[in-house]
Structure 1
C-alpha cells in the first residue's frame, strides 16, 4: 500500500513537472497561433507515456538505486579510505551518467542530425568517463577542503580556450552535453555523496564543501566533447565519415527489414528496445554489486525490493524514451514551425522566456537543492529567492539562445562571453555562494525540459533558411545553464554589499 502511495506521488510529481509546459504551449496555441498542431493525438499520448515513464523510473530509483547508493557512500565515508572513496566516486559518476535519460535523448538527436558522424554511444561513453573522473576529483577536493572557485575559474578558462579551436559543428552540442549530464539520475546520487562526505569530515562545511560536485560534472564534459569534435571534424576526412554513415544507414535498413519480416515484429522490437535499456542501466547495477560484495563484503539488504527497483528503472526509461519520440520532440518542433510562420518574431522570444521560467519554477531538483541550501546557509539564503533567480536566469538564457539561432551568430562568442562574465563574477562573489551557484546551473533543466528545449532549438534551425540543425540547433541548454549562475552570483554580490558592516560573509 505504501508503494502505491509513493507511485501516486511520483505520478503527480511527473505531471506537475510537465504541467508548466502544457500550460505555456496551450496558451500560445489558443491566444497566438490559434490552430491545432498536426498529430495532436499522438503528442498527447506521448505526454501521457512520458508522465507514466518518469513515475515508474522515479519509483525504481527510490526502491533500488538511491538506498543502496547512499548506504555505500556512508560506508566509504566512515572507512575514510581515499582510494576507495575516489574509486567509488568515479564509478558512481560514470554509471549514473551513462543511464541519464536526457543524455540518451540528446545523443540520439546528435547522431541523427550528423548522419552518423557523431556516434551516440561514443558520445555517452566519453561524457560518462569525464564525469566519473571529475567526481573522483571532487571527492578529493572535499576531503582536502579546497575552495571551489579556483577549480571553476581555471576550468572555465580551459573550456573557453578549447572552444576557440573547436569546430562549429560540435560547440553547441558540447555545451548542451554538460547541461544534460546532471539530471534525474545523476544529481541525487552525486549531491548525496558530496554533502554526506562534507558532513562526516570534521572542519568541513556542507554549503562550502558539500556542494560543487554537480558543477564539476557539468564543466568537464564540455571540454571532452569539444576534443571529440576536433578529432571527428578536423582529423577525420569527410569522405570516410560519409561512407561510414551510409554503411550505418544500410545496416539499419537491413535490420529493420529483417525485424519487419519476423512474425510478431512489434514484440521483437519492444524486446530489443528493453534490452537496450538494460544495457544503459547495467553499469549502475555492476558498480553497486561490485562495491557491495567485493569491497564492503556485506550482503545486499532487501534483495527482492532492489531487483524490483531496477526492473522499474528499465521499464520507466523505456516508456520515457518512447514518450519523447511521440510527444515532446514533436511538440518542440511543431511550436518552432508555427511561431516562425507568424508575421513577427516577438512571440518566439516570449515563448522562450515563458517556457524557461515556468518549467524551472516547477523543477523538483531545484526545489530540493534550494531547501537544502537555505538550511545549510543558516539564514543567509532564501529558497524562494533562489528559485526565482534561477528561473529568471533560465528564461533569459533560453531567450538569448533563441536570438542567436535567429540571427545566425556564432555560438563561440556567446559562450566565451557568457563564461567570461561567470569567471569575473566568481572572483567578486562571496566564497560561500560559489559552489551552490554552479550547482544550480546544472540542475535547472529537468528530464522533461531538456528534450523540449532541444527540439525547439533544432526546429528553429530547421525552419530558418541558412541555418544548420547541427551547428545552430544545439546550444539552448548551455544558455539555460550559464545564466542562472550569473543571476545567483549577482544576487549574492549585491546582498553582500548591502549587508551591514561587521556581518559574517563566510
Structure 2
C-alpha cells in the first residue's frame, strides 16, 4: 500500500505545478474559452490517472520481467541468440513507446503524409533495436563503451553532412523520444540483468548494464538521417 501511495504522490507532484501555471495564466493573461479550459482540467485528471497506472504497471511488470529476461538470457550460452533477443526486444518496446508515436504523428502532419506515421515508428524502432543488439555485444565481448559512443557519434556527424537540413532536427528528436517511460525502464532492466550474470565475477558487474540507453539513442538518430538521405 505504501508503494502505491508513493507513486500517487510522485504523479501528483509532477502534474500539479503545470496545472497551477496554466490556471494562473488562464485568469491573468490568456483567458481561454471556458470549454477549452474545462477540457484542459479534464485532461489533467485523465493524464494523472493514466500516468499513475502506467508507473505502477512499469514497476510491477516491466522492470521485474526485463531484469528476469536479462538474467536468464546468458544461461543459454549462445551469443547469437542473446543478441537476436536483444534486437527483437529493442524493436517491440520502441514500437510500444508513446513518445515515439507522438513524434511520428507530428512528422506525419507536417510532411503532409509523405513521411507516414508507421514509417517513422518502424525506422526509429529498427535503429533502437540495432543498437540494443550492439549493447548486448558490448557486454558479451567486454567492448569499450567510450569507443562505441565515439564511433556512433562520429557516424552521426559524418552522415549529417549528407542529410537534408529538415531531417537533422527530426533525427535528434527521435533519439530523445526513445528515452521515454516505456523504453528506458525495460532496456535498463534488461541490461542490468544480462550484466549481472555475464560479469558475476566482477565486483562492478551491474555497471556494465548501464549505457544501454545512451547507445540505444544513437540508433534512431542514424536511422532517421539515413531515411532523410533516401527521401532527399
Q: What corresponds to 1:320 in structure 2?
A: 54
* Unaligned segments of structure 2, at least 5 residues: none
Q: What corresponds to 1:149 in structure 2?
A: none
- 1:407 paired residue among 141, 148, 155: 141
Taking the aligned partners of 2:50 and 2:115, their CA distance within structure 1 comes to 36
Q: What corresponds to 1:480 in structure 2?
A: 216
Q: What corresponds to 2:225 in structure 1?
A: 489
Matches within 5 A, 1:98-113: none
Q: What corresponds to 2:27 in structure 1?
A: 293
Correspondence 1:386 to 2:120: yes
Deviation digits for residues 337-368 of structure 1, max 9, x if unmatched? 11111122222101111112233344454445
Distance of aligned partners of 1:407 and 1:386 in 2 relative to their CA distance in 1, 3 Å threshold: same
Q: Is the 8 A contact 1:360 1:445 kept in 2?
A: no
For residue 371 of structure 1, report the CA deviation from its aligned partner.
4.8
Taking the aligned partners of 2:173 and 2:65, their CA distance within structure 1 comes to 29
- 1:419 paired residue among 128, 146, 153: 153
Q: Is the 8 A contact 1:457 1:476 kept in 2?
A: yes
Bigger radius of gyration, 1 or 2? 1
The alignment of Structure 1 onto Structure 2 pairs a total of residues equal to: 230
Distance of aligned partners of 1:343 and 1:407 in 2 relative to their CA distance in 1, 3 Å threshold: closer
- 2:166 paired residue among 413, 429, 432: 432
Matches within 5 A, 1:234-253: none
Distance of aligned partners of 1:297 and 1:487 in 2 relative to their CA distance in 1, 3 Å threshold: closer
TM-score after normalising by structure 2: 0.82
Matches within 5 A, 1:189-200: none
TM-score after normalising by structure 1: 0.41
Q: Is the 8 A contact 1:292 1:299 kept in 2?
A: no
Deviation digits for residues 90-114 of structure 1, max 9, x if unmatched? xxxxxxxxxxxxxxxxxxxxxxxxx
- The Cα RMSD (Å) is 2.9
* Unaligned segments of structure 1, at least 5 residues: 1-265, 497-506
For residue 431 of structure 1, report the CA deviation from its aligned partner.
1.3
Distance of aligned partners of 1:308 and 1:459 in 2 relative to their CA distance in 1, 3 Å threshold: same
Partner SS state of residue 139, structure 2: helix
Deviation digits for residues 451-480 of structure 1, max 9, x if unmatched? 111110111122222273663222222222
- 1:357 paired residue among 91, 100, 108: 91
Q: Is the 8 A contact 1:461 1:468 kept in 2?
A: no
Matches within 5 A, 1:195-344: 266=1, 270-271=4-5, 273-297=7-31, 301=35, 306-344=40-78
Correspondence 1:451 to 2:185: yes
For residue 289 of structure 1, report the CA deviation from its aligned partner.
2.1
